[in-house]
Amino acid sequence: VEIEGLTGDIRFNEEGRRQNYTLHVVEMTVNSAMVKVAEWTDEIGFTPVAAKYIRLKPQAVFERNKTYVVTTIVEEPYIMVRKDEPGEYLVGNERFEGYCKDLADLISKKLSINCKFTYLHQINML
């Protein structure tokens, strides 16, 4: 059986399985571009291809004696400024809570690096 699809001919064998097709495996780059890194065909299977960009090394080296500054805006539920409880004085990253704060803490711990949060006061621009 053969029909015309949006991307070309679509063929099926006697058992109803699609045949003579190729899937492109892509990876998103830091710049949000899609780059082909492999192909899969019904005849050959998975075949990696050389990426046309420089991939980041999985074990990138980060300076561990350096503090990385994360500057953000306050936006619930991602970053929120915690309110001091009576008798409590929050300093540093303790002043913040939220999803992005928790995620940054986990990443910092995993990579054995330090990060410091700062935030910009939002300016209403009409």
| pLDDT interval class at 126 (50, 70, 90) | very low
What percent of the chain is predicted at pLDDT more than 90?
6
What percent of the chain is predicted at pLDDT more than 70?
83
Is the backbone of residue 85 left (phi > 0), alpha (psi -120 to 50) or beta? Answer: beta
| pLDDT interval class at 13 (50, 70, 90) | confident
When pLDDT is averaged across residues 58-65 and rounded to a whole number, the result is: 67
When pLDDT is averaged across residues 16-44 and rounded to a whole number, the result is: 82
pLDDT on residue 35: 84
CATH topology of domain 67-120: D-Maltodextrin-Binding Protein; domain 2 (3.40.190)
The residue type of 4 is E
State which H helix or E strand residue 36 sits in.
strand 34-41
Cβ atoms 120, 72 nearer than 8 A: yes
Q: Where are the domains of the chain?
A: 2-48, 67-120
Sequence-distant (6+) residues with CB within 8 A of 32 are: none
